[in-house]
Chains A and B, each alone.
Chain A
């Protein structure tokens, strides 16, 4: 007879915590609400495109989403092409100030009700983000646990560590062009998307198509 124990196993606790929580399914991804999701990968790996697809899906559904734009790099034209509804988007430009970006994220998570809070670290040197104490991420994790908010972080390398519930690593492997000569257009960026950590996503190849306004 096995010894009786009142201590639950860690895996059982994890399952218990997830019971009753909702998932968001968009663009082939499955994200747990009330958690942190990281999109990592080198430049031109499509992580911003994936984040924009999620933003577009949620704003079309009437959820209020926020973009914390650390380096003022966000391009609304790309968001429009993805289908984002601007009247449901709160855009915050932090002008490169990391502390402001984290404080703004803290305020947004405190407001309790945003569908998506996207921390866009495009163009930030990794060394800068490593200075941010890990306790920030755990604080965010605890704050959003019982909410419907998804905190998305896009960066070249993982910064949230074990505070992130799911992590995707995107790796570009092919760029397709259409047309010929000097005026050809980007057709598609194909990437290898791997779900790391707790992730329901099956690793597969993803093609992100380029869209043009006056094609």
Chain B
């Protein structure tokens, strides 16, 4: 892919430079900002926009949108683009194998040499290009090679991105719409690999990846995956994207793909020698995603207690994942009598004798009541119709079986047991 750079020069006003950066962000993510110029890498835009002239027109239009006035230069060399933008008004476009004359002052030639060239009638780089290189170097020394390189359109300048970027993207346009997402995995894997490599080069990592699909029917299907930790594991990201999209596949054929990876600081993976056993974060998330696909999104998560006086004051928070953090208050745990629910509750026939519970019969067992406590009511939702409607007893049956018995509008039920 041929390299192509664009440079915008504006007046030194801070607001103008800020707007120029916003313009540059529309076209590139590798951006270098200095005093009044914004230099950016637009390599590959030919495929999306067209020839360098059309790219220049698009940049010019973007500048108009921002109400920005300045000069634009596009060249295959970053240094040449910058020099043209600084020295020439309007739009300058230099195609890959051509060069445009540049005023000699702009090349950085020393004052004495410049006055000699001027006295000889040489005003632009085009004039200097006609002179024999060997003789010029012999006369002005090896440092003049740098000027000659600029004259030849090869400044050797490297774009050093100094703008704090927050994402890298990758685009791919398909030749024809594809409805089965499975067929795109290979292409997606390739794109993911390239963006992750780009992030790695910058010594960053990512914890947020967006996959945006342009659909055949004109709609856009967007999937955003955000983790609690940064990772550059391509296989892991691909698995997550695959699991997520297979859950909610796009409604129509996919026409184009865009992957966006947001930058994040790298993860420190050092753990103590005596640290507790934990799955790798990637493995944990993939496992949870696989189990969610199996048993349903709402059935996998972390238990959360509710601060309410309701019969079952807890929920399963499917958004949370276990963190594996050691508790500050570590105590030697002793067994505490645990309760478990019967789902659904067992319908029961209760025999009452002398105003006391005497016998309980369900489809699975029938036993005499040895002892019981209650009645207990634990609903405080007095504003609902269920206000104090559920009465419960803790019951000990023959064989030391401990159960919870409930009386509701629908009759007697065994709601659970102590175990």
Other-chain residue from B276, B301, B329 in contact with A115 (beta carbon distance below 8 A): B276
| Whole-angstrom CA separation of A61 from B333 in the bound complex | 11
User: A92 and B418: CB pair below 8 A?
Assistant: no
In this complex, what residue of B is CB-closest to A187?
B337
Other-chain residue from B296, B325, B337, B343 in contact with A186 (beta carbon distance below 8 A): B337
| Whole-angstrom CA separation of A83 from B338 in the bound complex | 12
Q: A residues within 8 A CB of B401?
A: 42-44, 172
Other-chain residue from A86, A100, A123 in contact with B294 (beta carbon distance below 8 A): A100
* Nearest CB on A from B346, distance (A): 9
Q: B residues within 8 A CB of A185?
A: 373, 394
Q: A residues within 8 A CB of B335?
A: 27, 46, 49-50, 52-53, 82, 206, 208-209
| Whole-angstrom CA separation of A159 from B338 in the bound complex | 22
Per-residue B-contact encoding for A135-175, CB less than 8 Å = 1, 0 else: 00000000000011100000000000000000000001111
User: B291 and A48: CB pair below 8 A?
Assistant: no
Q: B residues within 8 A CB of A74?
A: 303, 340-341
In this complex, what residue of A is CB-closest to B303?
A76
User: A175 and B277: CB pair below 8 A?
Assistant: no
| Whole-angstrom CA separation of A211 from B337 in the bound complex | 7
Interface hub of A45, A75, A95, A182 (most chain B Cβ within 10 A): A75
* Nearest CB on A from B133, distance (A): 65
Scan residues 300-343 of chain B and give those whose CB is less than 8 A from a CB of chain A: 300-305, 313-314, 316, 320-327, 329-343
Q: A residues within 8 A CB of B325?
A: 62, 85, 87-88
User: A89 and B322: CB pair below 8 A?
Assistant: yes
Interface hub of B304, B320, B322, B403 (most chain A Cβ within 10 A): B322
Per-residue B-contact encoding for A69-113, CB less than 8 Å = 1, 0 else: 001111111111111011111111111110010011001101111
User: A48 and B322: CB pair below 8 A?
Assistant: no
Other-chain residue from A58, A149, A210 in contact with B337 (beta carbon distance below 8 A): A210
Contacts known (A48-B419, A63-B324, A113-B279); A175 close to B291, Cβ less than 8 A: no
User: A108 and B287: CB pair below 8 A?
Assistant: yes
User: A64 and B313: CB pair below 8 A?
Assistant: no
Say yes or no for B374: interface residue by CB 8 A criterion.
Answer: yes
User: B290 and A107: CB pair below 8 A?
Assistant: yes
Other-chain residue from A42, A88, A120, A179 in contact with B322 (beta carbon distance below 8 A): A88
In this complex, what residue of B is CB-closest to A90?
B322
Interface of A is mostly: mixed
Say yes or no for A60: interface residue by CB 8 A criterion.
Answer: yes
Q: B residues within 8 A CB of A47?
A: 419
Say yes or no for B284: interface residue by CB 8 A criterion.
Answer: yes
| Whole-angstrom CA separation of A184 from B295 in the bound complex | 40
Q: A residues within 8 A CB of B41?
A: none
In this complex, what residue of A is CB-closest to B283?
A111
User: A122 and B287: CB pair below 8 A?
Assistant: no
Q: A residues within 8 A CB of B295?
A: 92-95, 97, 100, 104
In this complex, what residue of A is CB-closest to B337?
A210
Say yes or no for A35: interface residue by CB 8 A criterion.
Answer: no
Contacts known (A87-B322, A208-B335); A76 close to B340, Cβ less than 8 A: no
Say yes or no for A205: interface residue by CB 8 A criterion.
Answer: no
Q: B residues within 8 A CB of A64?
A: 277-279, 284, 322, 324
In this complex, what residue of A is CB-closest to B301?
A91
| Whole-angstrom CA separation of A80 from B301 in the bound complex | 16
| Whole-angstrom CA separation of A84 from B94 in the bound complex | 69
Other-chain residue from A80, A85, A173 in contact with B327 (beta carbon distance below 8 A): A85
User: B278 and A61: CB pair below 8 A?
Assistant: no
| Whole-angstrom CA separation of A113 from B287 in the bound complex | 11
Q: A residues within 8 A CB of B115?
A: none
User: B287 and A123: CB pair below 8 A?
Assistant: no
User: B402 and A186: CB pair below 8 A?
Assistant: yes
| Whole-angstrom CA separation of A94 from B296 in the bound complex | 9
Say yes or no for B416: interface residue by CB 8 A criterion.
Answer: yes
User: B277 and A114: CB pair below 8 A?
Assistant: yes
Scan residues 261-309 of chain B and give those whose CB is less than 8 A from a CB of chain A: 275-280, 283-284, 286-288, 290-291, 294-296, 299-305
User: B339 and A77: CB pair below 8 A?
Assistant: yes
Say yes or no for A23: interface residue by CB 8 A criterion.
Answer: no
User: B322 and A73: CB pair below 8 A?
Assistant: no
Contacts known (A42-B401, A87-B302); A113 close to B336, Cβ less than 8 A: no
Other-chain residue from A97, A114, A122 in contact with B279 (beta carbon distance below 8 A): A114
In this complex, what residue of A is CB-closest to B288?
A90
User: B324 and A175: CB pair below 8 A?
Assistant: no
* Nearest CB on B from A75, distance (A): 5
User: A49 and B279: CB pair below 8 A?
Assistant: no
Q: A residues within 8 A CB of B331?
A: 60, 83
User: A73 and B399: CB pair below 8 A?
Assistant: no
User: B343 and A149: CB pair below 8 A?
Assistant: no
Q: B residues within 8 A CB of A186?
A: 337, 373, 394, 396, 402, 418
Q: B residues within 8 A CB of A52?
A: 335-336, 338
Interface hub of B299, B324, B329, B331 (most chain A Cβ within 10 A): B324
Q: A residues within 8 A CB of B288?
A: 90
Contacts known (A26-B333, A174-B400, A209-B336); A110 close to B287, Cβ less than 8 A: yes
User: A75 and B340: CB pair below 8 A?
Assistant: yes
User: B343 and A63: CB pair below 8 A?
Assistant: no
Say yes or no for B417: interface residue by CB 8 A criterion.
Answer: yes
| Whole-angstrom CA separation of A206 from B39 in the bound complex | 76
Interface pairs A-B: 7 shortest CB-CB: A113-B279, A62-B326, A48-B419, A172-B400, A76-B303, A78-B338, A62-B276
> Would you list 9 pairs from A and B whose C-beta atoms are within 8 A, ordered by A residue?
A26-B333, A61-B326, A63-B277, A87-B302, A90-B301, A94-B295, A172-B399, A206-B335, A208-B336
Instruction: Name 10 extra pairs, CB < 8 A, besides A82-B335, A108-B287, A177-B371.
Output: A27-B333, A46-B337, A60-B327, A76-B303, A76-B304, A91-B300, A113-B284, A114-B279, A172-B400, A209-B337
